Amino acid sequence: MEFPYEIREYVEELAAKRDGLPRAAELLSERYRGESGGGKPLLNGSLDVLAYAAVRMPATFGAAAKALELTLSHFTGDIASVLDVGAGTGAASLAAYFLTGCGDITCVEREQGMIDLGTEVSKRCGADFRWIKRDVGSGLKRRADLVVSAYCLNEMTAAGRRAALEELWRAADKLLVIIEPGTPAGFSQLKQARELLTELGGNIAAPCPQIIGCPLTEGDWCHFTARIARGRLHKRLKGGEAPYEDEKFGFIAFSREQCSPCEARILRHPKVESGKITLKLCTAQGIEERVVTKKSPRFKAARKSSSGEAF
């Protein structure tokens, strides 16, 4: 799903009126790399919010859209309300809005600058989100069919994550989707979320076929990739001419109801050789390497497959 052109155009208009944006984007990236997990605010004013919208919002939108697409393909219920926790400028909310058609969307965000910009950009896409200024640590006090938390846990202290996960699950009437960076640290946080929420009665909807425990050994992790188109401003702030970038992320989704997760998930890029394709799969029986030959009825599907897809 493409990032809305209306938002990209509006952010570029705002950027044309401000000086110092490249340096603000650079410093913001450094803070996200070096200070995430400390529980401290990572934004220092309106210039940082604008830098976030230019560089991180498209990536968050792409990751959320892909995670929600993969989740909703294994969920048959209706989504009549959405709660986006740690919403930032509303990227995950917009992805949910376009994918579900739901008009009842509430964004919870602690930074007023994010709320102000998010309110404006969502209206430019025809959406009228409800915004609440609150930290998840203060309690959500709202419920929704679908609760989304994108790149939120990695900004908390370890002590705050368990309480936040319990709060997110209490708020989810049907479905909870958690998205984190596609790094070993992000994967570790998702594994912890998996353990806690299955204890609380959550059913894994995606991406895992596993019911009991993650079969990946220590030092290994899985992630997904969303290809993000870069606009002119995005290229300038990133200091490159590549027309796209790949956002690596991890996610896990829990349902209140029993659901039908995939039978197997492709963990790595398929290895294509003459007459055969080798897939590394996560299955209900554990990690499996499967060779699909031209004689197999699954060969055509294997040839079109890519990392992160169900198989």
- Report the percentage of the chain scoring pLDDT > 90: 65
Average model confidence (pLDDT) across the chain:
90
Phi, psi dihedrals of residue 282, rounded to the nearest 5°? -100, 120
64 touches 95 (CB < 8 A)? yes
pLDDT at 123: 94
Asked if pLDDT for residue 35 goes beyond 80, the answer is no
Confidence of residue 40 (pLDDT cuts 50, 70, 90): low
Q: Give the C-alpha separation, 10 to 71, whole Å.
A: 30
Q: Between 41 and 123, where is the model more confident?
A: 123
Asked if pLDDT for residue 41 goes beyond 90, the answer is no
pLDDT in tens, 4-15: 999 999 999 999
Average pLDDT over residues 111-133: 95
Determine the number of helices (DSSP H) and then strands (DSSP E) in the chain: 9, 12
pLDDT in tens, 241-255: 888 899 999 999 999
Confidence of residue 187 (pLDDT cuts 50, 70, 90): very high
Please state at what angle helix 112-124 crosses helix 91-100, rounded to 10 degrees. Answer: 30
E strands, the chain, in order? 82-85, 105-109, 130-133, 144-150, 172-181, 203-206, 224-229, 244-255, 264-266, 271-273, 276-283, 286-293
Asked if pLDDT for residue 133 goes beyond 90, the answer is yes
Token code pair at residue 263: 């039978």
Q: Which of 154, 146, 113 is nearest to 254 (CA)?
A: 146
Strands 244-255 and 172-181, sheet pairing: antiparallel
Asked if pLDDT for residue 159 goes beyond 70, the answer is yes
User: Which residues, 6+ apart, have CB-to-CB distance to 137 below 8 Å?
Assistant: 156, 160, 163, 164
Confidence of residue 34 (pLDDT cuts 50, 70, 90): low
- Report the percentage of the chain scoring pLDDT > 70: 96
278, β-bridge pairs: 271, 291
Token code pair at residue 175: 């479905």
Cβ-based neighbour number of residue 253 at 10 Å: 29
DSSP state of 15: H
Confidence of residue 264 (pLDDT cuts 50, 70, 90): very high
Q: Give the C-alpha separation, 70 to 45, whole Å.
A: 35
Specify the range with the lowest mean pLDDT, choosing from 82-86, 138-142, 165-169.
138-142
pLDDT at 138: 81
pLDDT at 190: 94
52 touches 89 (CB < 8 A)? yes
Specify the range with the lowest mean pLDDT, choosing from 21-35, 91-105, 152-166, 251-265.
21-35
Asked if pLDDT for residue 266 goes beyond 80, the answer is yes
Confidence of residue 218 (pLDDT cuts 50, 70, 90): confident
Average pLDDT over residues 163-183: 95
Q: Between 271 and 238, where is the model more confident?
A: 271
Q: Give the C-alpha separation, 236 to 21, whole Å.
A: 10
Specify the range with the lowest mean pLDDT, choosing from 184-188, 259-263, 272-276.
259-263
pLDDT at 38: 56
Q: Give the C-alpha separation, 98 to 119, whole Å.
A: 16
